[in-house]
Amino acid sequence: MADRVCPQCGAPIDPNATECKFCGEKLAVQQAAQQVQAQQVYAQPQQPQTQVVIQQAAPQQVYASGINPAWPVKSKVAAGLLAIFLGGLGIHKFYLGKIGMGILYLVFCWTYIPAVVGLIEGIVYLCSNDENFQLKHHVRLN
């Protein structure tokens, strides 16, 4: 097991690696910066130095598949059928958690444009593969 972890995704990395094999984060710059800091600390210990520490927000957890387990569980078939049969009212958008788009569909339902778009979206939902559907709509499939 490696001693180091990637600062971007938290995955374990090899000690001699120049980039993370999971997220592609470049590590060579960090190694050089750490070596320069170590040399400065050991070269001039008697001089007090004022350091400005910029604390970055914790990196968001990135998963190998890209699918976050915190996303809600939804059914691709249910979303597709709702889009085909009730797409004019935007029910499929409400189901997928896109409330703003659902309201937009409701506002324009009298024009029948959302019905046509919903029919097309339903077909696309049903024909798309599972991984693309999950990543695009930020849901997990059951």
Instruction: Give domain limits for the chain.
Output: 1-58, 73-141
Residue 18 identity (one-letter amino acid)? T
> Which pLDDT value is given to residue 108?
96
> Which pLDDT value is given to residue 2?
43
Please enumerate in sequence order all residues whose Cβ is within 8 A of that of 2, keeping only pairs 6 or more positions apart, or say none: 12, 13, 14, 15
How confident is the model over 67-91, as a mean pLDDT? 94
Band the pLDDT of 1: cuts 50, 70, 90. Answer: very low
9 or 98: which carries more pLDDT confidence? 98
Please enumerate in sequence order all residues whose Cβ is within 8 A of that of 133, keeping only pairs 6 or more positions apart, or say none: 76, 125, 139, 141
Contact 137, 121 (CB under 8 A): no
> Which pLDDT value is given to residue 3?
67
**pTM across the whole model:** 0.57
